[in-house]
């Protein structure tokens, strides 16, 4: 569990934006403080103070491009010298996560939001190609541990190579991706029925963006990975076979840290 943001940092940010801090939410893996605040005009917002992470580097830029269409709005942002990024965000009311719903309903909600989010990235934007992220993940695999879990060094090589090549060989339109959209990152809101939070924007193959939701439904993914892929692909008019390839490759490159993914990769 990360330590909460230093009180003086939180206080300085609140002074800078004329905010009154309210209730803090449970912090995530790289989040130092996130909670409700009141702006000078009395309106509600959410303040997020997070340690800088290379995958989330362009979160604020992505939210500005989406401009509230399918995702929360960002009112302002700061990058502090000590590796901390700060975002002042739209508050979702009531804020119930879509993960509280049955998974079949989650499928519909996640896929509908992805259709909204998959827009052309601005040519002058800061967004990096998905291939860069995939290269970094594939290079970071603990090959010995992955081989032990998968029982076949050929599977490790094939998965890592496929993870890289899928990102590079996409021939369709390259769109702005969320890359970390799952039902826990989708909140009920009054402005729109559901809004995405915590994107990690990249540009590339939209098929990849379905993988995180699948990984967040492990029982269904293990029971019928191909059937699950066919269902999601049909909801967004994408190639189910390509989604199966993405899932195999992603399970391989992540099984060293999440061993249960090795069985899914073998399936």
The residues annotated with a catalytic role in the active site are 180
Residue 35 corresponds to which tokens in the numbers above?
């909670």
Q: Contact 79/85 with Cβ under 8 angstroms?
A: yes
Return the number of other C-beta atoms located less than 10 Å from residue 28's C-beta. 14
Distances (CA, A) of 17 to 34, 41, 90, 157: 15, 11, 14, 50
Bridge partners of 34, per DSSP, are: 48
Long-range contacts of 237-242 (CB under 8 A, 24+ apart): 238/206, 238/207, 238/210, 239/207, 242/166, 242/205, 242/207
Which tokens is 161 given? 């190579």
Calculate the CA 131 to chain-centre distance. 16
> Which pairing describes strands 175-177 and 84-90: parallel, antiparallel, or unpaired?
unpaired
């Amino acid at each position: 569990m990360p330590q909460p943001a230093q009180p003086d940092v939180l206080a300085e940010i609140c002074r800078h934006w004329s905010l009154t801090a309210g209730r803090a939410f449970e912090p995530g893996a790289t989040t130092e403080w996130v909670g409700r605040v009141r702006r000078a005009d009395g309106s509600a917002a959410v303040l997020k103070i997070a340690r800088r992470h290379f995958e989330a580097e362009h979160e604020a830029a992505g939210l500005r491009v989406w401009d509230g269409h399918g995702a929360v709005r960002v009112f302002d942002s700061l990058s502090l010298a000590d590796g901390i990024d700060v975002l002042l965000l739209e508050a979702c009311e009531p804020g119930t996560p879509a993960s509280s719903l049955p998974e079949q309903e989650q499928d519909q909600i996640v896929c509908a939001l992805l259709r909204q989010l998959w827009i052309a990235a601005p040519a002058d934007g800061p967004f990096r190609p998905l291939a860069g992220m995939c290269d970094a993940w594939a290079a970071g695999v603990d090959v010995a541990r992955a081989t032990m879990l998968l029982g076949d060094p050929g599977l490790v090589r094939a998965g890592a190579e496929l993870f890289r090549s899928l990102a590079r060989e996409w021939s369709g339109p390259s769109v702005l991706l969320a890359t970390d959209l799952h039902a826990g990152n989708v909140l009920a809101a009054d402005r729109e029925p559901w809004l995405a939070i915590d994107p990690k924007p990249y540009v590339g193959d939209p098929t990849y963006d379905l993988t995180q939701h699948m990984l967040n439904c492990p029982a269904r993914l293990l029971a019928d990975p191909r059937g699950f892929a066919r269902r999601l692909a049909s909801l967004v008019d994408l190639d189910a076979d390509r989604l199966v390839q993405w899932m195999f490759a992603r399970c391989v490159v992540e099984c060293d840290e999440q061993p249960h993914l090795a069985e899914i990769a073998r399936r």
